[in-house]
Amino acid sequence: MIKFLQTPTRAKKFVLGGLLVVVAVMMVVTLIPGIFDSLTNTAGRGVYARVAGHDITSADVDRAAQEMAREKRIPPQFVSFVRAEAGSQLVSEYALLAEARRMHLQATDEEVRNFLHQGQLGEALFPKGEFIGQAKYEDLVQQYFGMGMSQFEDRVKETLLFSKLRAIVQGNITVPEWEVKEDYLKQNLKVKFAYAVLTTEDMMKQVKVTDTELKAFYDKHKQEYVNSIPEKRKARYITISTSSIPGVSVSDDEIKSYYNQHAEQYKLPERVHVRHILVKTPPQAADGKGDQKALDAAKAKAEGLLKQIQNGGNFEELAKKNSDDPGSAAKGGELPTFRRGAMVPEFEQAAFALQNKDQLSGLVKSQFGYHIIQLIDKESAHTKSLDEVRTAITPIVKQQKESKAADELARTLEAQTKAQGLDKAAAAHNLQVQTSDFFSNTDSLPGIGQATDFMQAAFSAKPKSPPQLARTSNGYAVFEIIDSQPAKTPTFEEARQRVETEFRNEQAQSMLDRKTQELSERAKVLHDLKKAAGEQSAQLKTSDFVTQQSQVPDIGPLNGPASVAFSLGKNQISGPIATGRSGVVLQVLDVQEPSIEEFAKNKDVARERTLAQKRGQSFQLYASSLIQNMEKDGRIKYNKEEQQPGRLPAGS
């Protein structure tokens, strides 16, 4: 309901718009912690591209590629295939961010606070309108975004800059009614079809393999196997984490000091907790006039409900049966506790004017309709006392002290290991030295985990060089590389299993493509898909009536290659359709077009959909043009050596 009543200000539209781009922007933030940290400004080796004076390092791109591969479930040995895509994504994001700053767009602290109250972030940080507390906030940010609070809030500001830039680019875009109608008819056209399915599994059973064929396949694709066995290293290391720091205690003075330094965050504004009933009014026309009869009917209904409550009627039951706010009606009209600025002005003014529990407002008219408000509770502005927040502060201060002690121990240990060696330094602090097996840069090590920073350091260090310090997933490690195995190209025997798998897949796919083509041609000759499917031993199935937004078993989403079904007439047969793991031929059985009445009923929703689509296309064109211009005028420069398509992440 808060979303329904929010003041439609420009700033808040930006905040809500930020939720639409946060997926794209925060993906980099979430999956690649530190990607926006301070960058070197030195061109040359290790720099992938320079965008408006900022260097995107090859390490940044490698991390992005590794995470992209994990997201797409691409095996580690094929990470290099998505490296160019990851690099392009980072360049695009930096270019858009640079353009937003060039236009002097800014994101204020107030907008950040508003953003953190919205959507899933708001649900996580302010359940039922209550802040989860600083300690839990920092833990949540660290757990899900892999960064500290201030860095996270800086990232949110950058996300808001993206949303503001997007709003400016898309601000004047409109769509004519004919385009809305055309798009609606296209999106809501329904077809029913029969479809014959051939699968790669079926083809795989028919693939025969000989050693001669496998050896020839290996020789033909040998370049693809070059250095596919990654470089491996062996290390000795000492790990340091907060758990390595025993006996850290927190004094009352330290708690008081933290409380005094952060007093601002414990200030609570005036807040109210209310329930309400909404009787919606019809939207006004462009001339400001509406359906007077409907307006009068809505007001009469609201007045009747108010009179029932004043005469002893149960507010919650009446809200459940009569409120037009679906978000709160089921809860008897109850809204989450809110502060000033969360609601439209008329609603806010009436709610904060209530003083006593169960007190009723009169009818409150807003842009949404007529409201009846009842006060549940009211809380004046105040600062939480030290005793109220002591339990929340204690673990924060303790964690800070442990982190500081771990940092100091790590630096001390690094110096001692260089002077005395790992074993003596570890013994002096009652720590253990661990020796790894040979590992690649995508492996996880005991006590270290899958730590990108550690792996970068480990694969950059020279074997048997002095110990170094590197961050891990939960602290630090002081390590030395004691041996290494360079990347190598496997022999045929070493690669045999992979070669056979890839050979079988290639043969099965080729066979599938050929047989699906034959199936389509035969069905068209016979004018009978069922008969052709029988001859090819293909499975024949029938869909329900479906739209382009539907999914069909063995085909998947119909907005891909199978969308051809929506361009065929009744009884027409398609060409071969490749869906990935299967080949399909379909025959349209029936077509249902949406009626003019349906379009009229759904025109507003259809307009928003078409407008959103057109805005998305507009922003994509804008971003593409911006990058081209920045490349032309030298604001984007690439290091071609670091962009080699065959280049693997460091140490792979």
- C-alpha closest to that of 145 among 68, 33, 19: 33
Q: What is the pLDDT of residue 338?
A: 86
| 420-446 average pLDDT score | 93
User: Quick one: pLDDT band at residue 644, thresholds 50, 70, 90?
Assistant: low
pTM of the complete model = 0.50
What percentage of the chain reaches a pLDDT higher than 90? 46
| 334-348 average pLDDT score | 86
Tell me the backbone φ, ψ of residue 364, rounded to 5 degrees: -115, 115
User: Quick one: pLDDT band at residue 342, thresholds 50, 70, 90?
Assistant: confident
User: Quick one: pLDDT band at residue 340, thresholds 50, 70, 90?
Assistant: confident
pLDDT at 209 over 50: yes
| 358-384 average pLDDT score | 92
pLDDT digits (tens, 9 = 90+) for 384-428: 899 988 988 998 898 888 888 888 999 999 999 999 999 999 999
Q: What is the pLDDT of residue 27?
A: 34
Distance CA 356, CA 224 (A): 76
User: Quick one: pLDDT band at residue 162, thresholds 50, 70, 90?
Assistant: confident
Angle between helices 603-632 and 149-170 (to 10 degrees): 110
Q: What is the pLDDT of residue 402?
A: 87
pLDDT digits (tens, 9 = 90+) for 444-491: 999 998 888 899 899 999 999 999 999 887 889 999 999 999 999 999
Q: What is the pLDDT of residue 269?
A: 84
Q: What is the pLDDT of residue 284?
A: 54
pLDDT digits (tens, 9 = 90+) for 595-638: 888 888 888 888 888 898 898 889 989 999 999 999 999 999 98
Distance CA 313, CA 360 (A): 12
Bigger pLDDT: 82 vs 251: 251
| 134-141 average pLDDT score | 79
pLDDT at 506 over 90: yes
Residue 421, token pair as written in the block? 């060696």
Distance CA 455, CA 440 (A): 8
| 365-376 average pLDDT score | 92
Concatenated DSSP letters of 126-186: SGGG----HHHHHHHHHHHHSS-HHHHHHHHHHHHHHHHHHHHHHTT----HHHHHHHHHH
Q: Are 574 and 585 in contact (CB under 8 A)?
A: yes
* Minimum mean pLDDT range among 106-110, 489-493, 579-583: 106-110
Task: Output the CA–CA distances (angstroms, integers) from residue 399 to 256, 264, 405, in the order listed.
Answer: 16, 21, 10
Q: What is the pLDDT of residue 77?
A: 63
Q: Are 282 and 369 in contact (CB under 8 A)?
A: no
pLDDT digits (tens, 9 = 90+) for 15-69: 223 333 343 333 333 333 333 333 333 344 578 899 988 888 888 888 888 888 8
User: Quick one: pLDDT band at residue 149, thresholds 50, 70, 90?
Assistant: confident
Bigger pLDDT: 121 vs 13: 121
Decide whether 190-208+491-592 matches 270-380 in CATH topology.
yes
* Minimum mean pLDDT range among 35-39, 85-89, 368-372, 643-647: 35-39
| 259-266 average pLDDT score | 86
**Rg, Å, the chain Cα set:** 32
- C-alpha closest to that of 224 among 648, 650, 651: 648
Task: Give me the CATH topology for the region 270-380.
Answer: Chitinase A; domain 3 (3.10.50)
pLDDT at 500 over 80: yes
Using DSSP, how many helices (H) and how many strands (E) does the chain show? 23, 19
| 224-248 average pLDDT score | 89
* Minimum mean pLDDT range among 127-141, 435-449, 494-508, 535-549: 127-141
pLDDT at 246 over 90: no
Residue 85, token pair as written in the block? 């895509």
User: Where do the domains of the chain lie?
Assistant: 2-176+605-643, 190-208+491-592, 232-256+386-485, 270-380
Any idea what the Cα angle at residue 449 is, between residues 429 and 451, rounded to 5°? 95
Bigger pLDDT: 188 vs 109: 188
Class of domain 2-176+605-643: mainly alpha
Instruction: Please count the other Cβ atoms lying within 10 Å of the Cβ belonging to residue 571.
Output: 11
Task: Give me the CATH topology for the region 190-208+491-592.
Answer: Chitinase A; domain 3 (3.10.50)
pLDDT at 565 over 50: yes
pLDDT digits (tens, 9 = 90+) for 535-558: 999 999 999 999 988 999 999 889
| 526-534 average pLDDT score | 95
36: Cβ–Cβ under 8 A, 6 or more apart, which residues?
29, 151, 154, 155, 158
User: Quick one: pLDDT band at residue 80, thresholds 50, 70, 90?
Assistant: confident
Q: What is the pLDDT of residue 285?
A: 41
Q: State the average pLDDT for the chain.
A: 84
pLDDT digits (tens, 9 = 90+) for 285-314: 434 455 788 888 999 999 999 999 999 999
